[in-house]
Amino acid sequence: MSSESFDLTREESDVGGFGDRLARYVFFSCALVTVLTTLAIIVVLVNGAIDFFAEVSLVEYFTSTEWDAINETSFGIWPLIWGTMLITVGSAVVALPVGTLTAIYLSEYADPRVRRTVKPILEILAGVPTIVYGFFALSFITPILQTLFPGTGTFNAAAGAIVVGIMIIPMVSSLSEDAMSSVPDSLRNAAYGLGATKFEVSTQVVLPASLSGVLAAYILAISRAIGETMAVTLAAGMLPQITTNPLAEIQTMTAYMVQVGTGDIAVGTVGYQSLFAVGLTLFVMTLSMNIFSEWVRARYREEYQ
Amino acid sequence: MTANGSQTVSTADSSGARSDAAMTDNAPLGSPRVDDAVIESRDLDVFYGDDQALHGINMDIPEHKVTALIGPSGCGKSTFLRSINRMNDLIDIARVDGDLYFHGKNIYDDDVDPVALRRKIGMVFQKPNPFPKSIFDNVAYGLRVQGKDDDVEEQVHTALERAAILDEVEDQLDSSGLDLSGGQQQRLCIARAIAPDPEVILMDEPASALDPVATSKIEDLVEELAEEYTVIIVTHNMQQAARISDKTAVFLTGGHLVEFDDTSKIFENPESDRVEDYITGKFG
């Protein structure tokens, strides 16, 4: 070691100088952009919605079962919520079982080589533009449904639900697989040591132990299905109605917003302002789901040593 | 530690326990044939990929006794333990050569179902690993998996009692096993292992993560368990082996069984100089 002494005072040293402090502000500004954007979105939505509810009563909005805001005749949100729910529940029925079983396969059964190949492929599925899924529904799923059920319309809720379900499978399987892989091997060994089979270890030990992560994945995927737009606009149609027939045309909240946003409704009219009310409703729904997902994850997390 | 395989042979040779050094490569010194052996290991080799973790292990483990496997870290004692209930099957790169007989049946025969084997040979691990389930469900798990849950309430109570933890948890059977202290968790794991009534219990350093009080409770328990079960316990604590075991196997140098005999003999008058060095703390 040299006998030279090091100067540790801030003024004299080059360490952590101006560049370092500048970096901090650059990073902070970038983080700020996303926060400000979110705030701006909320302000815009709330402002527009306030204008809308100045014309239309909240009571009508939440009690009427008719929606025809474009012609400014009826403003009951339920047909749109119903359409969104049909798609959401239908897609969950498709995606949750398939996604969970895929995750169990990848986490517990698949050879590490297979896992390293299949997981990225699944994640590529998540990167396909949603409009492509919409065309896939229109040109492939709907014709099959029409063959099976002759009364099926060109636009129908079932095709939308199925294609959104396919779309969110990677989200369910990938996040669930992450949760399952993080279950410590000591638990698997404990079960194997008691003479459990691989199936029993997977379903009775790994799945319950990773439940918080798996449920969080479910909720995030469902939240994604609620907010999904292009695929359902293309596949499920634009007819707001409360129907229990999955083969009938419906309209989701998102599809309605596309219709208004791309249509020729004059800015400032009640029809135009309905866009903000529906948008705010949708925002509150998905935000609640995401918060709920975080709560579930925190509430049901098991702490392992 | 620079000892290697060839030194092992020369040690074995110089001690004069067997006349033919070439034939007794890796054979443990003073290894008596046991008439009531429940597990017989014959020339057992275990490999992890290209690394050989065990070299030609020959050992007869007697019934209803405590057999301790001791030796320095990396000597293969845990590997040997895990090959008895085929837990090594779960490691992709593990490969086993040689024979291991359980009641005369080679458990590495193709027709042996490792799941069925593990129902006869229970295991307790180094770190307590209760399931994130209730205390009751932890103990009941093996019973349910094995379809022995006709009278699950009573069996769970019996197992907890035998594992000397019933008094401490009797009022909180529905609370999570993870809420217990480390020592309690390990006794819960022992209760879980004995609940389905296996014949053999393998213990992989069951007290190494515990404080002295919890350790002494586990030790008392091990001695009691030997009345009904065959216990094979891995430990790197020589005093523990001396206190609780009837037989002791000393593994040294990268997977060789150097000496296997009555515990008193191993600790008072071992055949091998290297075992004596290890026991007296000169290395390892």
- Tell me the per-residue pLDDT of A58-88, one tens digit each, with 9 for 90 and over: 999 999 999 998 888 899 999 999 999 999 9
Number of structural domains found in chain B: 1
Residue A120 covered by a domain:
yes
Q: State whether A125 and A49 are in the same domain.
A: no
Mean pLDDT (whole number) for A11-32: 80
Interface residue ranges in chain B relative to chain A, Cβ cutoff 8 Å:
85, 87, 90, 92, 115-116, 118-119, 122-123, 125, 127-133, 141-142, 145-146, 178, 189, 192-193, 196
Same structural domain, A11 and A95: no
Residue B238's domain comprises 37-279
Residue A261 covered by a domain? yes
Q: Are residues A31 and A130 in the same domain?
A: no
Residue A293 Cα, gap to closest chain B Cα (Å): 21
| Structure-block tokens of residue A64 | 């009427």
Secondary structure (3-state) at B238: helix
> Which one of B87, B116, B122 has the shortest CB-CB distance to A189?
B87
Are A190 and B189 a contacting pair at CB < 8 A?
yes
- Would you call B131 and A195 a contact, using CB atoms and an 8 Å cutoff? no
Q: What is the pLDDT of residues B49-98, one digit of tens each?
A: 999 999 999 999 999 999 999 998 889 999 999 999 999 999 889 999 99
Provide mean pLDDT across the span B17-24.
38
The predicted structure's pLDDT at residue A161: 96
- Residue B34 — pLDDT band, cuts 50, 70, 90? low
Instruction: Compute the residue count for chain A.
Output: 305
Higher pLDDT, A164 or A22: A164
Rounded CA-CA distance A77/A70 in Å is 13
The answer, yes or no, to whether residue A192 has pLDDT greater than 50, is yes
Separation CA B198–CA B193 (nearest Å): 8
Q: Clarify whether residues A107 and A47 are in a common domain.
A: no
Q: Which of A259, A274, A241, A218 is nearest to A97 (CA)?
A: A218
In-domain check, residue A304: no
* DSSP assigned state of B91: S
A282 pLDDT band (50/70/90 cuts)? Answer: very high
What is the spatial distance between Cα B121 and Cα B129, in angstroms, rounded to a whole number?
A: 17
Contacts of residue A187 in chain B, CB cutoff 8 Å? 129, 131-132
pLDDT in tens, B238-263: 889 999 999 999 998 789 999 999 99
Burial class (CB in 10 A: 0-12, 13-18, 19+), B151: exposed
pLDDT at A7: 64
pTM of the model: 0.82
Residue B96 falls inside a structural domain: yes
Confirm whether B85 is domain-assigned: yes
Tell me the CATH number at B232: 3.40.50.300
Q: Which residues of A touch B178 (CB under 8 A)?
A: 302-304
Closest by CA to A220, choosing from A288, A269, A162, A301, is: A288
Quote the number of domains for chain A. 2
Last residue within a domain, chosen from A34, A54, A74: A54
Task: Evaluate if residue B200 carries a pLDDT over 90.
Answer: yes
Do the chains contact at A194 and B85, CB–CB below 8 Å?
A: no
Contact between A194 and B142 using a beta-carbon 8 Å cutoff: yes
Residue range B197-226: mean pLDDT, rounded: 91
- Co-location of A277 and A135 in the same domain: yes
A294-299's contacts with Cβ under 8 Å and 24+ in sequence apart are A294/A216, A296/A212, A296/A215, A296/A216, A296/A219, A297/A212, A297/A213, A297/A215, A297/A216, A298/A212, A299/A212
- Name the residue facing A192 among B90, B131, B133 (closest C-beta): B90
> If pLDDT is split at 50, 70 and 90, which confidence band does B30 have?
very low
Interface of A with B (CB under 8 A): 112, 184, 186-197, 200, 204-205, 208-209, 302-305
> What does the H/E/C string look like for chain A?
CCCCCCCCCCCCCCCCCHHHHHHHHHHHHHHHHHHHHHHHHHHHHHHHHHHHHHHCCHHHHHHCCCEECCCCCEECCHHHHHHHHHHHHHHHHHHHHHHHHHHHHHHHHCCHHHHHHHHHHHHHHCCCCHHHHHHHHHHHHHHHHHHHCCCCCCCCHHHHHHHHHHHHHHHHHHHHHHHHHCCCHHHHHHHHHCCCCHHHHHHHHHHHHCHHHHHHHHHHHHHHHHHCCHHHHHHHCCCCCCCCCCCCCCCCHHHHHHHHHHCCCCCCCHHHHHHHHHHHHHHHHHHHHHHHHHHHHHHCCCCCC
Whether residue A165 is found in the same domain as residue A33: no
The predicted structure's pLDDT at residue B143: 95
**pLDDT, average across residues B123-136:** 94
Nearest Cβ partner for A205 among B85, B131, B196: B131
Residue B32 scores a pLDDT above 60: no
Partners of A112 on chain B (C-beta within 8 Å) are 92
Q: Which residues of B touch A191 (CB under 8 A)?
A: 131, 141, 145
CB-based contact B35:B63 (threshold 8 Å): no
Which residue in A has a C-alpha nearest to residue B82's C-alpha? A193
Distance CA A237, CA A83 (A): 10
Contacts of B263 (CB under 8 A, 6+ apart): B68, B241, B242, B245, B246, B247, B248
* Percent of chain B topping pLDDT 90: 68
- Is the domain of A13 the same as that of A155? no
B7 pLDDT exceeds 50? no
Closest-CA residue of A relative to B126 is A186
Which chain B residues are within 8 Å of A196, Cβ to Cβ? 115, 141, 145
Q: Are residues A49 and A78 in the same domain?
A: no
pLDDT confidence of residue B33:
54
Q: Is residue A73 part of a domain?
A: yes
Q: Which of B123, B132, B178 sits opposite A193 (nearest CB)?
A: B123
pLDDT at residue B36 above 90? no
Would you say residue A196 lies in a domain? yes
Q: Mutate which of B120, B129, B144 to test chain A, going by most A C-beta atoms within 10 A? A: B129
Residue of B nearest to A201 (CA): B145
Beta-carbon separation of B131 and A197 below 8 A = no
Which of the four pLDDT bands, split at 50, 70 and 90, describes residue B152? very high
Taking all residues of chain A, what is their mean pLDDT, rounded to a whole number?
A: 90
Please check whether residue A305 lies inside any domain of the structure. no
Cβ contacts of A195 on chain B, cutoff 8 Å: 115-116, 118-119, 142, 145-146, 196
Assigned token pair, A235: 């596949």
User: Is residue B8 over pLDDT 60?
Assistant: no
* Band of pLDDT at residue A305, cut at 50, 70 and 90: very low
Q: Mind giving me the DSSP string for B96-125?
A: EEEEEEETTEETTSTT--HHHHHHHEEEE-
The answer, yes or no, to whether residue B159 has pLDDT greater than 80, is yes
Which residues does chain A have within 8 Å of residue B116's beta carbon, measured at their own beta carbons? Answer: 195
Q: What is the pLDDT of residue B151?
A: 92
CATH of the domain at A282: 1.10.3720.10
For residues A117 and A45, membership in a common domain is answered with: no
Q: Is residue B122 part of a domain?
A: yes
Confidence of residue B15 (pLDDT cuts 50, 70, 90): very low
In a domain, B107, yes or no: yes
Residues on chain A touching B87 (C-beta within 8 angstroms): 189, 192-193
Q: Which residues of B touch A192 (CB under 8 A)?
A: 87, 90, 118
* pLDDT value for B26: 47
- Shared domain for A263 and A132, answered yes or no, is yes
Owning domain of residue A43: 3-54
Indicate the residue of B128, B130, B142 with minimum beta-carbon distance to A195.
B142
> Do A89 and A36 belong to one domain?
no
B134 vs A203: CA distance, rounded Å: 17
Which of A14, A36, A54 is the last residue in one of the domains?
Answer: A54
DSSP letter, residue B48? E
H/E stretch holding B279 reads: helix B273-279
Are A228 and A204 members of one domain?
Answer: yes
| Beta-carbon count within 10 A of A208 CB | 17
